[in-house]
A and B are shown apart, each in its own frame.
Chain A
Amino acid sequence: DTIKMAFIDPLSGPFGPSGEAAYTSFQLAAEHINANGGVNGDMIEVTGYDNKVNPKESLVQLQKAIDDGARYILQGNGSSVAAALIEAVNKHNARNPGEEILFFNYAAVTPAFTNELCSFWHFRFDAHADMKMAGITDWIAERDDIKSVYLIGQDYVFGQAVAAAAESQLAEKRPDIEIVGNELHPLGKVKDFTPYIQKIISSGADAVITGNWGADMQLLMKAAAESGSDVPYLTFYGGSKGAVSSLGEAGIGLLYQVSEVTTNLEASDEQYALIEEYKERFPDYDYYYHRAWNAMDMFVAAAEAAGSADPIPVAKALEGLTIEHAYGSATMRAEDHQIQQPLYISVVSDDVKYGVDNIDLGWKLVDAGTISMESAEQPTTCEMERPE
């Protein structure tokens, strides 16, 4: 039979491209796995469910996915959604023993999900906000020319978590830095960021830190380009579709991103072939969600180790599992189901192998931009209840 995975994420609207980019990645990954004989002989089928980044809608889709027979839920776009899903999955598994489902979170990075809200049924395949922020603040700590920072983000759990992490980590690592602005705007509703950019310019900040993603990232960059802003932007998701092309040449050396990989890292020819295959199949998008492959590969490894694709054995096998992937190794920490892996800080450059957004600009690793798995690791407060 087939293993049904439900991909519950935005497939339309302002965050549609973020969802599509990941959806296509999961589908291609599944295709490759199936082509290689599947999981214990079973084929994987990834079906998309459009949730419009709305938690309530996500639960409706979750219900539908469960009704359709899905046992694995893939989601990442939006911590508000992930929070609702974690809770719903917990409840579902408690109420329907024998019909458990697992939630593979590939991008919702609010730290709480693997701390106070951690759950046995939830696995996160991306570094969480505190981990990424640590990378950024370490980098800032070295830059003496940065004396003031402006924080802008989306007004929801994740944006709030980013702002909080930035504030506390900067206070610790560079107490001299002044936070000249701390602004949260509505999620996915702002169409013109010009007033915000002008506020940033008038604040005289030396750098901007933002966790914005999707259209909020792209439009922020569009307004920055139009207003001629030349502050560096330290971002989680500068790789969101359209952000680099919105800035254009102006982005070189200004737009930074912290991520688990970029396509311009050294890799095998096999990996290059994959990147090119992806681009060929989905010319609108770039190979960005390497974590989709990580998640799928870990799933396959776990299912094969457990000898079963049922959620509970798979979950148990995933705990502490380490895989080698195209750019190094990754480990699923058993304590809190938080993946551990190195992170990289990169910046927009015209001297790259792979451009993004169908232009020649792409992401280039900055000097000393590699954050090892050990230094990226953060402690957890998770106390997990595990089934028998």
Chain B
Amino acid sequence: MSDATQTFQNLAPSAGAKFRQRTLPILIFAACLAAIPMVGPSRTFYTIAHQMGINIVFALSYNMILGKGGLLSFGHAVYFGFGGYVAMHAMNWIEDGSGLWAGFPVFFLPLVGFAGGALAGAIIGWPSCRKAGTTFAMISLGVAELVFAAAFMFDSFFGGEQGISGDRMNGVELFGLSMGPISEVYWFIAFWTVVGLVGMWAFTRTPLGKLSEATRDNAQRVQFIGYNPQRVRYLVFIFAGGFAGLAGGMAAVNYEIFTPDAMSLVPSGFVLIMAYVGGITYFVGPIFGAILLTYMQSMLSDFTEAWLLYLGVLFIAIVMFAPRGIAGIVFGIWDGLRGSNPGQYIAGLLMKLAGILLMLIGLIVLVEVSVRWSNGYGEVYEPFGMHLGHQNVLSWLIIVVTAVAGVALTRYASKDKEAA
């Protein structure tokens, strides 16, 4: 038996591997976060970074139920919203200094958000987690609309159109942070992003986390190893709600306002897209998705009005051609590079990339020319000093040639790969 004992330990990854694969990435991530303020970033940078932090936690929490739990929800923003609202109210209680709240630091409001989100998850999850699959998806849609519409009726909690706002510069100061200027809020966001990330990562390593994956893969079988899949789903759902609420609490402190729109289908759809584009089969996928999409949302929207169109194209392309998302692509490339024939792999990859790039150029020119044409303000798309109006033959030439060449090249590259 002693023999077996030795071997079974070898089955699990070694302590070194564990450190390399699990602890190290998180340490690096945290170190990056800590290093950022040293380079003296701009206001804009902070604004986006905060949004990213919030979205990372939100998207990860969504993936607890979609990726790890196999439940497609169209209403995850409800829990984000509940968490945010509860935190918002708590912020106001802190300001009023009423009772216990007088001594509660604003810094810890995300915990209140967690409680709010988890509570909402516990209430709403009770009826909805009895089902899975499409039924669950439809219930989540119905609940989302229901809560959103009801939010305009209960003004004392949701604040109607105007929402609830507050002031984060109250209560006990922690770590010498007044929480006023944006650069101080940064530490708050960074801290809770890491907490959320570590918390959700740890969750995947617990029995419940594993059971959640088992229930996703095969709910029927879970019954026959002694677990009630409904209960597994329910518990996971509460946690996902809690972490969404945590993100909501972060948002409450960051924006100091919550409106019912935070619970509408739009943010619910956005978090779905973030998680899916990032890659729902990987823990880190949603992080990629959150970073990319937040960036697109805030920066791309400055460059082009049609950024949502690009987002739609990106999403559909991912659904059709890369269902494992960005993370899948990244890890796929990584594997390819370490595969048997990296040289050939790189060649194929470059060819594909070139093809995609060409298609992208065609698409961008098409969209940008059209946008300006449709706006009718007589503006003209002028990349790299070119003058691409809608009456310019060159514009249409670029569009057609690049698109055709791109498609052809990509096809050729994939054929090549298959043959190999």
Contacts and interface: CB of A to CB of B under 8 A. Distances in A.
Chain A in direct contact with chain B (Cβ < 8 angstroms): yes
B255 A67 contact: no
A96 B42 CA distance: 14
Contact of B257 (A59, A64, A187): A59
Given A56-B255, A67-B42, A156-B162, A95 B261 contact: no
B262 interface: yes
Interface string A124-164: 00000000000000000000000000000001110000000
Interface centre among A54, A68, A78 (most CB of B within 10 A): A54
Interface in B171-194: 180-181
A233 B245 CA distance: 46
Given A56-B258, A91-B256, A157 B161 contact: yes
A87 B165 contact: yes
A37 B193 CA distance: 50
A299 B88 CA distance: 36
B105 interface: no
Contact of B47 (A67, A91, A95, A157): A67
B259 A83 contact: no
A66 B162 contact: no
Nearest to A79: B162
Nearest to B160: A156
A63 B47 contact: yes
Contacts of A267: none
Contact of B162 (A60, A64, A68, A80): A80
A57 interface: yes
A84 B152 contact: no
Interface string A85-102: 001100100111000000
Interface string B24-50: 000000000000000000111001000
Nearest to B45: A67
Interface string B223-266: 00000000000000000000000000000000111110110000
Interface centre among B44, B162, B258 (most CB of A within 10 A): B162
B181 A67 contact: no
A186 interface: yes
A95 B180 CA distance: 6
B162 A157 contact: yes
Interface residues of B, number: 22
Interface string B143-169: 000000000100000001111010101
B34 to A, nearest CB: 23
A54 B261 contact: yes
Given A56-B261, A91-B167, A67 B152 contact: no
Contacts of A56: 163, 255, 257-259, 261-262
A55 interface: yes
B298 interface: yes
B64 to A, nearest CB: 25
B395 to A, nearest CB: 25
Contacts of A80: 160-163
Nearest to A11: B305
A83 B261 CA distance: 16
B351 to A, nearest CB: 39
A55 B181 contact: no
A330 to B, nearest CB: 28
B8 to A, nearest CB: 53
Interface in B357-393: none
A57 B261 contact: yes
A268 B44 CA distance: 46
B397 to A, nearest CB: 32
B258 A186 contact: no
Contacts of A83: 162
A95 B181 contact: yes
Contacts of B43: 66-67
Given A64-B298, A155-B152, A186-B152, A84 B165 contact: yes
A183 B259 CA distance: 23
Contacts of A68: 44
Contacts of B169: 91, 95
A64 B47 contact: yes
B47 A84 contact: no
Interface of A: 54-57, 59-60, 63-64, 66-68, 78-80, 83-84, 87-88, 91, 94-96, 155-157, 186-187
Given A67-B42, A88-B256, 16 more contacts: A55-B163, A64-B47, A68-B44, A80-B161, A83-B162, A84-B162, A84-B165, A84-B257, A87-B257, A91-B167, A91-B169, A95-B169, A156-B162, A157-B160, A157-B161, A186-B152
14 contacts: A54-B261, A55-B161, A55-B163, A55-B165, A56-B261, A56-B262, A66-B43, A67-B42, A80-B163, A83-B162, A84-B162, A84-B163, A84-B165, A95-B169
Closest 5 CB pairs of A and B: A156-B161, A80-B162, A80-B161, A67-B44, A95-B180
